[in-house]
Chains A and B, each alone.
Chain A
Amino acid sequence: MTVVPDVTASAPTPAGVSRDRRGSWIPTFPMIATRFMELRKRRGLMAALVGVTIGIPTVFLAIRLILHAVAPKTYGPAGGYDIFTALVAGVLYVFGFIVAATLGCTAGSVDLTEGMFRHLVVTGRSRLALYLARIPAGLAIIVPLVAAGFAIVCAVCAFAAPTTLNYDGVSVPAGLSRSGLESWAAQHANVVACNFTTNRIIVNVPCGNRPRGVPIGKGPDGTVVNGPGGEGAGPAPLTPAQLRAEAIRIANENYTDYSRFFLSPSNSLMIKTGLWIELEAIIGFIVGLGLSSLLGQRTIAVVMMVVLEIIITPIAARARIPHFENLQRAVVGLATAHLEPGALPLALGGDRRVDLLHESTLVAVGVILAWLAGWTILGAWRMVSRDA
């Protein structure tokens, strides 16, 4: 039935029919651009995306900047390493995923629910191309938004960081080497001896109203430091030289812990964290896109994504369910938690070394790739096979 010979055309042949390759699964740039426009013009959705990715950290940091400017002795600097890690692990990680998932769920379902899907199918364009056009279009929105919010956090945390480090209640210059810290401790021997944590009990150090050095028992390593009078001679004040030596010893003992504290996040940490946050957002978008395309609607898909992020993932990461640990490892949130930069606190809460279910980096990467590919295949399959 395809070809019946030689009948003159009754209407002109549209130009370009043989060139546009509309049966191809590769989306064209205009398809991506117009899909980007369609998503961008959803005012409510965009307001929510901007509010969560940029608004929340901006408002939080702005308040801290203002408070510090008004009462610097009461309120510490707005930025710094601690604020950076808290915002990234506590806000951007979770909310970035959820807003990305919301955008993905929107992109995956609105053509169907708003009746545009059949218009698009009737153009003859490959349904797979119609689906795939949504991925770069959505990522072109969510990736810059998350990057903008993260850039604001980085900027404030880097440029409004404390000028001195508060370590064990003592203002200490940041970034000292081991010898530098020892040298500084020798110059501030009394302060170090009175405030820094030490594994050994020290005695006879004048510390104002709370003299440190009253023998109260053995330290963790079982040693006791006595005054110059020796054992049984009773406490006697340390000489300045002894005090400096003790301060240097304490500084040396604390250096490993001290070196973990930074005034501002390092460039490498910010880059790693930025990439990790973007990875989380990309996963949220693509999984949301596939899930909503599969379900054919947005609301339930969004709810399922939120449940995945804030309920299932923490449980899978921290609980050890007998016989199901491999299944737990297949949860994408657990995989991304394993890729979290080590300098950050565990975004899912708890201690990374103790609470997080062990998973190798290779397995984590494999799980993430499987989720991205699997949900894309499922979403595309449903789009290709469903009635329009």
Chain B
Amino acid sequence: MSATTTVDGSEVRDTPGRWAVETRGLTKRFGANVAVDGVDLRVPRGCAFGYLGPNGAGKTTLIRVLLGLTRADAGTMSLLGFEVPKHRDVALARVGAIVDEPRFHGHLTGRENLQLLAAAREPAARDRIGPALERVDMTHRADDRVSKYSMGMRQRLGVAACLLGDPQLLILDEPMNGLDPAGMREMREMIASLVAEGRTVVLSSHLLDEVERTCHAIAIVDQGKVIRQGSISELLAGTSLVVEVECSEPDRARTLLERTTIGADVDATPRGLGITLPVGADRDVIAEIARVLVEAGISVYRLEPIHTSLESWFLQVTSRLGDSP
């Protein structure tokens, strides 16, 4: 069963498709510079989706195109199944977004700014101002002028503004900016709770650790193109497994392991040995390493499998790798 929404006098199916965001061949140029280059992006509904890329990769431009803040030069896109810009008003009715840093009228209070935004939405949005402020823990400062807010408080107010439309899709551009560690944790928890309610959250961020902790799926954008997308676990599954070993005789252990048929690369690290296993190696290889060392009379103090982090993987797949020393 699906709901319907009236568009241009005719009913349009309310929740068509499994994608909250879908683009095909989306392109945006600024003169000779192609900021978004034929992007095909699919964001599944009901998840936290990370949108990652180095500075200048075109992350914010794509978001601006999706939200109708600037026009696309080519391609098609849809939000929550509604083609935009054709049904932009209906699609954006259930989208909340922060683009770049959240800025508001400084001479108004936080509550008054939300009243201004709620007035542009449906009548029910006015009733959501209080709950939205409460949800971002801003009730106690809601009647202070925004000019007195810190950056973190403005971020929270921005999220509250997103919630006014009871959105099915939230697009948050660098929402962790300006937040202290406690604020970041609260933001992480709030995103998780929004997803738990069935909403979709698209999170653009350069804080890879935060994205890894918060998101289920990601897309990597580089030089205007989406070069990888999928769930984090799937994407990292294709990477090498590293085993860290802390033992009594690292040099002898290294020699022993290099003579085995495991096929691993062994490097000395400040904490012992770092053993990079071949892609696809199973867990029995770790047991084999332990057996070789113990049978050679080497005391093993720690043996820990280390998965490739999103950060190191990100650097591998983007152009930033070439920039690294």
A residues with CB within 8 A of B: 1-20, 22-23, 28, 30-31, 33-35, 37-38, 41-43, 110, 114-116, 118-126, 130, 387-388
Query: Is A9 a contact partner of B15 (Cβ separation < 8 A)?
Result: yes
Tell me whether A119 and B117 are in contact in the complex, defined as CB-CB below 8 angstroms, given that A1-B24, A15-B124, A124-B93 are known contacts.
yes
Complex partner residue of B99 from A13, A122, A130, CB under 8 angstroms:
A122
Query: Is A7 a contact partner of B104 (Cβ separation < 8 A)?
Result: no
- Nearest 9 CB-CB pairs, A to B? A115-B103, A124-B92, A4-B17, A23-B89, A30-B119, A11-B198, A16-B122, A20-B122, A388-B69
Which residues of chain A have C-beta atoms less than 8 A from B90's C-beta? 17, 23, 124
Complex partner residue of A122 from B70, B82, B97, B104, CB under 8 angstroms:
B97
Min CB–CB distance B191 → chain A (angstroms):
14
Complex partner residue of A13 from B14, B82, B199, CB under 8 angstroms:
B14
CA A387 – CA B30 in complex, angstroms? Answer: 12
- Chain B 47-95 interface residues, beta-carbon cutoff 8 Å to A: 64, 67-71, 76, 78, 81-83, 86-95
Which residues of chain A have C-beta atoms less than 8 A from B198's C-beta? 10-12
B46 within 8 A of A: yes
Query: Is A2 a contact partner of B83 (Cβ separation < 8 A)?
Result: yes
Stretch of B108-116, B131-139, B202-210, B213-221 with 4 or more beta carbons under 8 angstroms from chain A: B108-116
B1 within 8 A of A: yes
Tell me whether A8 and B76 are in contact in the complex, defined as CB-CB below 8 angstroms, given that A116-B105, A122-B95, A387-B64 are known contacts.
no
Interface of B is mostly: loop
Query: Is A22 a contact partner of B122 (Cβ separation < 8 A)?
Result: yes
CA A23 – CA B76 in complex, angstroms? Answer: 20
Query: Is A130 a contact partner of B120 (Cβ separation < 8 A)?
Result: yes
B22 within 8 A of A: yes
Which residues of chain A have C-beta atoms less than 8 A from B105's C-beta? 38, 110, 114, 116
Stretch of B160-168, B180-188, B277-285, B302-310 with 4 or more beta carbons under 8 angstroms from chain A: B160-168
Among residues of A, the one whose C-beta sits closest to the C-beta of B104 is A116
Complex partner residue of A22 from B71, B120, B161, CB under 8 angstroms:
B120
Q: Give 20 A-B pairs besides A14-B168, A116-B113 with Cβ atoms closer than 8 angstroms.
A: A4-B18, A6-B2, A8-B1, A13-B15, A13-B168, A22-B121, A30-B118, A30-B123, A31-B120, A37-B112, A42-B107, A114-B104, A120-B116, A122-B92, A124-B88, A124-B93, A124-B121, A387-B64, A388-B69, A388-B70
Among residues of B, the one whose C-beta sits closest to the C-beta of A33 is B119
Which residues of chain B have C-beta atoms less than 8 A from A3's C-beta? 12-13, 16, 81
Tell me whether A11 and B13 are in contact in the complex, defined as CB-CB below 8 angstroms, given that A38-B105, A122-B67, A123-B120 are known contacts.
no
Among residues of B, the one whose C-beta sits closest to the C-beta of A123 is B120
- Between-chain CB contacts (< 8 Å), 28 pairs: A1-B78, A2-B12, A2-B86, A5-B16, A6-B2, A7-B17, A7-B18, A8-B2, A11-B197, A13-B3, A17-B122, A18-B4, A18-B5, A20-B123, A22-B89, A23-B90, A28-B119, A30-B119, A30-B126, A31-B119, A31-B120, A34-B115, A41-B112, A116-B113, A118-B67, A119-B161, A122-B92, A125-B121
Complex partner residue of A41 from B104, B107, B119, CB under 8 angstroms:
B107
Tell me whether A41 and B122 are in contact in the complex, defined as CB-CB below 8 angstroms, given that A1-B78, A5-B13, A122-B69 are known contacts.
no
Which residues of chain A have C-beta atoms less than 8 A from B96's C-beta? 122
Min CB–CB distance B305 → chain A (angstroms):
35
Which residues of chain B have C-beta atoms less than 8 A from A38's C-beta? 105, 108, 112, 116
Query: Is B117 a contact partner of A123 (Cβ separation < 8 A)?
Result: yes
B interface residues, how many (CB within 8 angstroms) = 72
Complex partner residue of B122 from A10, A19, A33, CB under 8 angstroms:
A19
Among residues of B, the one whose C-beta sits closest to the C-beta of A31 is B119
Which residues of chain B have C-beta atoms less than 8 A from A37's C-beta? 108, 112, 115-116
Query: Is A11 a contact partner of B46 (Cβ separation < 8 A)?
Result: yes
Among residues of A, the one whose C-beta sits closest to the C-beta of B99 is A118
Which residues of chain B have C-beta atoms less than 8 A from A388's C-beta? 64, 68-70
Among residues of A, the one whose C-beta sits closest to the C-beta of B95 is A122
Which residues of chain A have C-beta atoms less than 8 A from B16's C-beta? 2-5, 7
CA A2 – CA B76 in complex, angstroms? Answer: 10
Q: Mark B161-180, 1 if CB is under 8 A from A, else 0.
A: 10001111000000000000
CA A122 – CA B3 in complex, angstroms? Answer: 23
Tell me whether A1 and B15 are in contact in the complex, defined as CB-CB below 8 angstroms, given that A10-B198, A114-B105, A119-B117 are known contacts.
no
CA A387 – CA B99 in complex, angstroms? Answer: 13
B45 within 8 A of A: yes
Min CB–CB distance B301 → chain A (angstroms):
48
CA A80 – CA B82 in complex, angstroms? Answer: 67
Min CB–CB distance A108 → chain B (angstroms):
15
CA A8 – CA B13 in complex, angstroms? Answer: 11
Among residues of A, the one whose C-beta sits closest to the C-beta of B158 is A119
Among residues of B, the one whose C-beta sits closest to the C-beta of A21 is B89
B255 within 8 A of A: no
CA A363 – CA B197 in complex, angstroms? Answer: 63
CA A33 – CA B115 in complex, angstroms? Answer: 10
CA A34 – CA B125 in complex, angstroms? Answer: 14
Which residues of chain B have C-beta atoms less than 8 A from A16's C-beta? 122-124
CA A124 – CA B161 in complex, angstroms? Answer: 14
Which residues of chain A have C-beta atoms less than 8 A from B263's C-beta? none
Min CB–CB distance B286 → chain A (angstroms):
39
CA A11 – CA B70 in complex, angstroms? Answer: 28
Which residues of chain A have C-beta atoms less than 8 A from B126's C-beta? 30
Which residues of chain B have C-beta atoms less than 8 A from A5's C-beta? 13, 16
Query: Is B93 a contact partner of A20 (Cβ separation < 8 A)?
Result: yes
CA A31 – CA B121 in complex, angstroms? Answer: 9
Query: Is B91 a contact partner of A1 (Cβ separation < 8 A)?
Result: no
B6 within 8 A of A: yes
CA A14 – CA B1 in complex, angstroms? Answer: 16
Complex partner residue of A126 from B86, B89, B113, B167, CB under 8 angstroms:
B89
CA A4 – CA B20 in complex, angstroms? Answer: 12
Query: Is B83 a contact partner of A1 (Cβ separation < 8 A)?
Result: yes
Min CB–CB distance A328 → chain B (angstroms):
40
CA A119 – CA B22 in complex, angstroms? Answer: 22
Min CB–CB distance B63 → chain A (angstroms):
10
Which residues of chain A have C-beta atoms less than 8 A from B117's C-beta? 119-120, 123
Among residues of B, the one whose C-beta sits closest to the C-beta of A24 is B89
CA A125 – CA B164 in complex, angstroms? Answer: 14
Among residues of B, the one whose C-beta sits closest to the C-beta of A110 is B105
